[in-house]
Amino acid sequence: PIVSCVKFVYTYHLIIFYFIAGYFYKEEKYGDKPFEYFCNTLKKNWTKYMFWSILIIIFHNFFIQNNFYFNIPKYNCIDDYIVAITNASILKNTELFAGALWFVPTLILASGLFALTIYIARKMSVEVQKRIKNIQNDNIKYIIITMISIIVGTLGVYLNENKTELEYAFHTSLLVLPIYTMAYFYKIFISKIKKIDKWYIWIILLILSTMFLCFMVSNNEVLIELSDEKIINGPMFYIVSIIGICFCISISKIIEKIPVINEDFITIGKHSFSIMALHFACIKGIDVIYSKLINQTNPQIISKWVSSYPQKLWVIYTIVGVMIPTLISITLHKFKNSIKK
């Protein structure tokens, strides 16, 4: 059951980050300024990446001494820390607990690629309209955006299916460009259709998407793992991604109708980067504490990756892996704001 849950989440969990990035892209501000958008995205994500990376690096030896890690060398001098921080500064953190942040460079590059796509489409649509007077400029732009996304996405599929790894996992950035485009069109068209914004429609969509994803994960051959170029196949990757997006949107729409928990989920969403950065460390922290309670002293068992007791503690892993990073992030934000005042 735990393996099935993991496979279920893995079908869509990273795709949502790309979809959200595409949804919140502001064409009116950055449509003709793709490089500015790329730089802003880089700055925002690099800052957070570096902060959590340095924190994890500082605690490297502590993690080893307390069996969070096993069979990993200690940092013996200041030079080791400098090398680790330098690697992190170019978005190549090698710390085990920072492994979940591997996707950050792909998000930055994909966001820049999407901004460039919009820019090219805007310029080309103006030129096309000069020659064909009866076509609306927006329609031309939408066609060009779609064509570029299909071409780039196809290249991404080819590279992933052939296990061709590019620097900073750029092959993944190419693969997910169509996800940005889906978010772009969703924002323009679907989200404005008020007729479908009914609670019962979202419940039906949730049920259908859940059934589809459950069917997919019941097939042992189906597993999406972008960090390992596992995408099933091209068409199926995008189909599963769309269903996963529908699953998440339907859940969010239902939660919006429940004020008691809506604000809590909004808060968690705001601190999702911190959750990605710290959840591995939190999970291993639970393993270390539980091992002490049951007198387990074998470091290979305690430090087993990703978790030592998934069948027993998966609920605690989930709660602690979300709540602790969120609370830490909230505390740091409050501290930062108090300094500014």
314 contacts: CB under 8 Å, gap ≥ 6: 2, 5, 307
Give, in order, the Cα–Cα distances in Å from 297 to each of 3, 96, 302, 311: 26, 21, 7, 19
The answer to whether residue 168 scores a pLDDT higher than 80 is: yes
The percentage of residues in the chain with a pLDDT greater than 90, rounded to a whole number, is 57
pLDDT at 191: 67
pLDDT at 106: 96
Instruction: Provide φ and ψ at 269, rounded to 5°.
Output: -60, -40
Question: How far, in Å, CA of 150 to CA of 135, rounded?
Answer: 22
Q: Are 103 and 226 in contact (CB under 8 A)?
A: yes
The answer to whether residue 3 scores a pLDDT higher than 60 is: no
The answer to whether residue 193 scores a pLDDT higher than 80 is: no
pLDDT at 149: 97
pLDDT winner (highest mean) among 1-15, 38-52, 202-216 = 38-52
pLDDT at 329: 94
pLDDT at 5: 64
Q: Which two tokens stand for residue 225?
A: 């793992």
| CA dihedral of residues 263, 240, 18, 335 (deg, nearest 10) | 30
Q: How do residues 118-139 score in pLDDT, each as one tens digit?
A: 999 999 988 887 777 666 668 8
What is the distance between the terminal CA atoms of the chain, rounded to a whole angstrom?
49
Task: Spell out where the chain has E strands.
Answer: none
Question: How far, in Å, CA of 196 to CA of 88, rounded?
Answer: 45
Question: How far, in Å, CA of 126 to CA of 121, rounded?
Answer: 9
Q: Three-state DSSP class for 171?
A: helix
Q: What is the mean pLDDT of residues 222-241?
A: 82
Give, in order, the Cα–Cα distances in Å from 213 to each of 48, 128, 315: 32, 42, 21
Question: How far, in Å, CA of 265 to CA of 251, rounded?
Answer: 11
Question: How far, in Å, CA of 25 to CA of 45, rounded?
Answer: 15
More confident residue, 101 or 219: 101
Q: What is the mean pLDDT of residues 238-244?
A: 90
pLDDT at 335: 87
Mean pLDDT of the chain: 89
Q: Which two tokens stand for residue 329?
A: 């992030």
pLDDT at 221: 58
CB neighbourhood size of 187 (10 A)? 15
Q: Is 230 left (phi over 0), alpha (psi -120 to 50) or beta?
A: beta
The answer to whether residue 175 scores a pLDDT higher than 80 is: yes
The answer to whether residue 107 scores a pLDDT higher than 70 is: yes
DSSP 228: G
More confident residue, 230 or 273: 273
Q: What is the mean pLDDT of residues 158-163?
A: 93
Q: Residue 327 — very low, low, confident or very high, per pLDDT cuts 50/70/90?
A: very high
Q: Residue 112 — very low, low, confident or very high, per pLDDT cuts 50/70/90?
A: very high
The percentage of residues in the chain with a pLDDT greater than 70, rounded to a whole number, is 93
The answer to whether residue 37 scores a pLDDT higher than 90 is: yes
